[in-house]
Amino acid sequence: MQFRTLGETGLTISTVSFGTSPLGELFGPLDESDAIRLIDEVIDSEINFIDTSPYYGNAEERLGKALTPAKRDGIILGTKAGRYGFDDFDFSPSRIRRSMEESLRTLGTDYVDVFQLHDIDFVDIGPVLTEGFAELQRLKDEGKCRFIGMTGYPINTFRRVIEETDVDVVLTFGKSTLLDSSLDEQLAPVAETHGVGLMNAAAVALGLLTPGGSTVKIEHPAPEAVQRSAQAMKELAVEKGIDIAFLANQFAIQRTRAATTVIGSRKSKHLQSAIRAADEPIDEELLAEFLALRAPADRRQWDLGLPENR
């Protein structure tokens, strides 16, 4: 496992982070004992950042049960506020504060390392960048979190976040993958100029770059051009006899300009595959064949969030 510095936070973070959305049963049932066992496996690995959210079902509750005080000390812990259901968003200062208090109780800790506003691109971001950010700053000043940030999808939104607020970190998803170079080419230069740490997520493009396909319960938000490129990559993977998801994870983890890539998993074998993907050298000739299929998909916007935020 490699480690990188997260912006100017001073945090040394593993290039693979663990995302807990699958543990909250967003993608199907999962026994609590199996969820806690997987968290223990993460803690015993070299992964040192765990990302969660109240939106992820009962993931915070399960994580809190697994994180004993001794285990908590070695983990960089992040949670979020603002999104609580598929269409349930509230970024008001009072709800952000209440969300923090609820998360601290559920997680069994008196602080989190990283506290972010979740999927801000689904609402008018003006008040989020003013009133919402001000509440984040107050919570940071009170010691309830060490670092603050915002998460979501569109690059344009997060350029604005970085330029108009003093966030420490930003997390975007689906923007540093085999299909999309937006984070690396368009967001990283701005983030690096401002000293903001970047986190990458959705290395397999919400399932497009897996043999089984989309992991979202609704129609996949990627446009046809992106889905065609993904299908071409999957067909090439079959031809080459390789696992497309493994290559997608390798590329996202090793080549992104973000400090870390958040990988969600509900099975030990997928977790261990992601850890291997962080260390196993990429076959450059093979990678070039896949990247040759990227152009029609690259930097294409998915149908996510408010149109004016894209």
Domain of 84 in residue numbering reads as 3-309
For the stretch 185-226, pLDDT in tens is: 999 999 999 999 999 999 999 999 999 766 555 688 999 999
DSSP assignment of 59-115, as one string? HHHHHHHH--HHHHTT-EEEEEESEEETTEE---HHHHHHHHHHHHHHHT-S-EEEE
Full-model pTM: 0.95
Taking 70 as the threshold, does the pLDDT of residue 83 lie above it? yes
What 3-state class would DSSP assign to 18?
strand
Q: What is the percent of the chain where pLDDT is above 70?
A: 98
- Cα–Cα–Cα angle for 75, 65, 142, nearest 5°? 55
- Is 153 a catalytic site residue? no
What 3-state class would DSSP assign to 50?
strand
Give rounded-to-5 percent helix, strand, coil for the chain.
45, 20, 35
Region 254-265 average pLDDT: 97
What pLDDT is recorded for position 217? 55
Region 19-43 average pLDDT: 92
What pLDDT is recorded for position 267? 92
Region of poorest pLDDT, from 18-27, 124-133, 196-205, 229-238 = 18-27
Q: Are 153 and 304 in contact (CB under 8 A)?
A: yes
Taking 90 as the threshold, does the pLDDT of residue 26 lie above it? no
What pLDDT is recorded for position 219? 81
pLDDT, the chain, mean:
95
DSSP assignment of 124-160, as one string? -HHHIIIIIHHHHHHHHHTTSEEEEEEEES-HHHHHH
Number of domains in the chain: 1
- Cα dihedral value 263, 264, 270, 271, nearest 10: 70
DSSP tally for the chain: helices H, then strands E:
13, 12
For the stretch 91-120, pLDDT in tens is: 999 999 999 999 999 999 999 999 999 999
178 phi/psi in degrees, rounded to 5? -60, -25
Output the domain CATH number for residue 109: 3.20.20.100
- Active-site residue among 56, 84, 111, 153? 56
Taking 70 as the threshold, does the pLDDT of residue 27 lie above it? yes
Q: Could you give the CA distance from residue 37 to residue 251 in angstroms, rounded to a whole number?
A: 28
What pLDDT is recorded for position 215? 58
